[in-house]
Amino acid sequence: MTQPLDSVTSAAPAEGGDLEGKHIVLGLSGGIACYKAAELARALVKAGATVQIVMTEAAEQFITSVTMQALSGRPVFTSAWDTRDVDGKANSMAHINLTRQADAVLVAPASADFMAKLLHGRADDLLSLLCLARPIETCPLLLAPAMNREMWAHPATQRNVSLLRADGTHFLGPDSGEQACGEVGDGRMLEPDQLLEELIGFFRPKPLAGKRVLITAGPTFEPIDPVRGITNLSSGKMGFAIARAAAEAGAEVTLVAGPVHLVTPRGVRRVDVRTALQMAEAVIPLAPTQDVFVATAAVADWRPTSLAEQKIKKNGSKVAPIFELTENPDILAAVAKMALVEGRPFCVGFAAESHDLLKHSREKRERKQIPLIVGNLGPATFGRDDNALMLVDAQGHRELPPANKLTLARWLIADIAQRLTSMEIPA
């Protein structure tokens, strides 16, 4: 194999959570979205982070420091004149001390006023002071905007966002949707689970930065009549986990998904399809522009030759209807053939088998003429949140131990990134 197993599994999160060992300063500026910060603080702690809350005077009009202290497990700071110790320092310089051990400052919600203040370097409260005084090289600033749609769209706000980005500030959101004022549009703060996903992704290594990754996921559904069809038990969870892991690794990700009800990972472009023909129509035109193609979808091998226009009813004869089937296009083989000619994309196939996993995985890799196949036992994993994978290439095979699917996806993406790097380095 290209790399030893340890070099791949080292990409897994530390035991205890995705943010284990991280120290986050969570700032709250004024806005009704402060209520979401309570759930966010709880989620950050559950993910393993230590969370230090800093609130503006305006934020205290929406949620109490008592609530935030209970959820973070640490005293809340609200005043630049607070003389309490910070990490053993009692020098009345909370605006300095609060960020010296921090891995990031996340302001959620970040109001329009607070962003304007940051842009101009104004520092008239503790939160703006510590943002200005933080060590830029080691303590990044992330903002989760929250405001009325007109405020977000205003040229002054957009100008401020552009200049803050140029200064190195990272933006998480905003989202679009119903707002507290009753209007609908851009400016809504991301939900706590979305912010958590964004923050976790921010800290992940970026070995696929600048790469394009195309992924298929889920089953296909081949209709027999308007209400019935041929499908399988694939949940799509593994493919969606790989899409998230690839996005975390810095890739531009397109996910072609069969009929599943899963939330699209943040930053991933999703294309929904139903049948194998639709999946092929979505994948084939995109494939030549991609660096990596991961065929996770459990594509139906056959489809009915013809579709009944109406639901097929029982007729009392107790004789089951007979269907003529035709073979579906082999999407992975078609893309692999492109790769042999064009040199891209790097193709990764999945083999969901019921028995003889290594034997069938080897045969499929050779038949498809692809560099890597990922084998797993379908009946043991369909619909579950965990899995165990076997990586098979021309040099041999190795097993990735049982783990949750996101952890396995991160290991797999780390392996793919290493293979791409070794291909790009001259021998």
Q: Which residues are catalytic?
A: 181
> Tokens representing 163?
């200049």
Cβ atoms of 385 and 405 within 8 Å: the answer is yes
User: Taking the CB of residue 155, how many other CB atoms lie within 10 A of it?
Assistant: 7
For the packed helices 192-203 and 237-248, what is the interaxial angle rounded to 10 degrees? 60
Angle made by CA atoms 35, 41, 45, in degrees to the nearest 5: 160
Q: Using CA atoms, how far apart are residues 196 and 39, in angstroms rounded to an integer?
A: 10
Residue 163 backbone phi and psi in degrees, to 5? -75, -35
